[in-house]
Amino acid sequence: MTASNASITTVSLPYGTAGIAAAARVIADGGCVAMPTETVYGLAADATDSRAVAGIYAAKGRPGFNPLIVHVPDRAAAEALAIFDEAADRLAEAFWPGPLTLVLPMRKGAGIASLVTAGLPTIAIRVPAHDAMQALLAATGRPLAAPSANASGSISPTRAEHVLRSLDGRIPMVIDAGPTPSGIESTIIACADGRVRQLRPGPISREAVADLLGVAIGGAGAGIEAPGQLASHYAPSKPVRLNATVRQAGEWLIGFGTVQGDDTLSARGDAVEAAARLFDALHIADSAGTARIAVAPVPDKGLGAAINDRLRRAAVPA
Ligand code: TXA
Ligand code: MG
């Protein structure tokens, strides 16, 4: 794992047997690789490895932890992670492999790092149609979390050159398979509580989904469809006090660095480790037998800024 601010050499390899083998080694070592999909290039890491997932956020410099899409090779692998209702079943049957992401209730014991789902009980999952991503899934045997392979705030990459434009020196490898066929990020459809909602428009139209299911498809909210910005932020059920250096009566203290607590994000003050533990630590604190949660200060640099953004949201009463 590389520190968020260190410059590393980014290797660009053509898609092929050697490239996929090299990419699979990076993933197995807990790193992330930029990979073409049929939509955009994604920055892939092992979705079961919280430190590897933290590395994705570190490389992208995301200001917060939006939940990520998990890529799997086929429907059977998706079934192991998520619970399909009838609508989800029909959508997967019709559009997978392809540019459709389904947000579904996550299965207990799915083994996905909580940083991937941002602590949510749902998981965004898709079966990509691109040979390169499928080859990497086969070579690693892991579910792969992959947001678009661009630095936060820059446009989505549809060519390896786009990836390098914003992530050169920040990731170890990009696999180049030329321009992506679609260039638009996948359509996101949530199937929960017997309802079907479109969270993000994409290559598969709302009409195509409505025609298939024989029902009108609503959106997640009025107008602004920025999935992950809306209902997706995990907030504990009890008050959260930030920048705490000592535990007060009735608090569960989540430590960091020299601030020791009932738990710690990272005893050695490592932001990557802290990001990897963040949602687990909040869940543990939430279920602890105390009335309130306190969290030690985390320096606001690198991934620390994303951690603090997330902590501030957790501290706002629901
Ligand atoms: O085409 C794509 O989907 C590309 C390629 C690489 O697969 N990936 C992609 O990932 O666009 P990303 O991270 O840029 O977008 C993921 C979107 C975010 O808007 C996030 O909020 C939403 O998926 N999302 C993920 N999990 C979610 C969940 N459990 N509930 C609601 N929204 C979720
Ligand atoms: Mg994106």
DSSP code for 308: H
Cα of 232 to ligand 1 centre, how many Å? 11
Rounded distance between C-alpha atoms, residue 55 and residue 222, angstroms: 33
User: Is 70 exceeded by the pLDDT of residue 241?
Assistant: yes
Q: Tell me how far apart the alpha carbons of residues 144 and 125 are, in angstroms, rounded to a whole number.
A: 10
**Top CATH class, 2-213:** alpha beta
Enumerate the CATH 3.90.870.10 domain ranges in the chain, comma separated.
2-213
Phi, psi of 140 (to 5 degrees): -90, -30
Selected from 3.40.50.11030, 3.40.50.720, 1.10.1740.10, 3.90.79.10, the CATH number assigned to the domain covering 240-315 reads 3.40.50.11030
Mean pLDDT of 261-284: 88
The CB of 185 under 6 Å from ligand 1? The reply is yes
Please choose, from the candidates 212, 215, 177, the residue with its C-alpha nearest in 3D space to the C-alpha of residue 196: 215
Which helix (H) or strand (E) segment is 188 a member of? strand 187-192
Nearest residue by C-alpha to atom 15 in ligand 1: 147
> Which of 50, 60, 37 has its CA nearest to residue 183?
37
Q: Between β-strands 69-71 and 251-255, what pairing exists: parallel, antiparallel or unpaired?
A: unpaired
Q: Relative to the alpha carbon of 66, which ligand is closest?
A: 1
Tell me the C-alpha distance between 135 and 177, whole Å.
12
Residue type, 185: E
CA 221–ligand 1 middle distance (angstroms): 17
* pLDDT tens track for 198-219: 998 888 988 899 999 998 888 7
Nearest CA to ligand 1 atom 20: 228
The model's pLDDT over 8-57, given as tens digits with 9 standing for 90+, comes to: 999 999 999 999 999 999 999 999 999 999 999 999 999 999 999 999 99
Output the CA 147–ligand 2 centroid distance in Å: 6
Is-contact 129 98, C-beta < 8 A?
yes
| Dihedral, 172, 175, 178, 180 alpha carbons, nearest 10 | -90
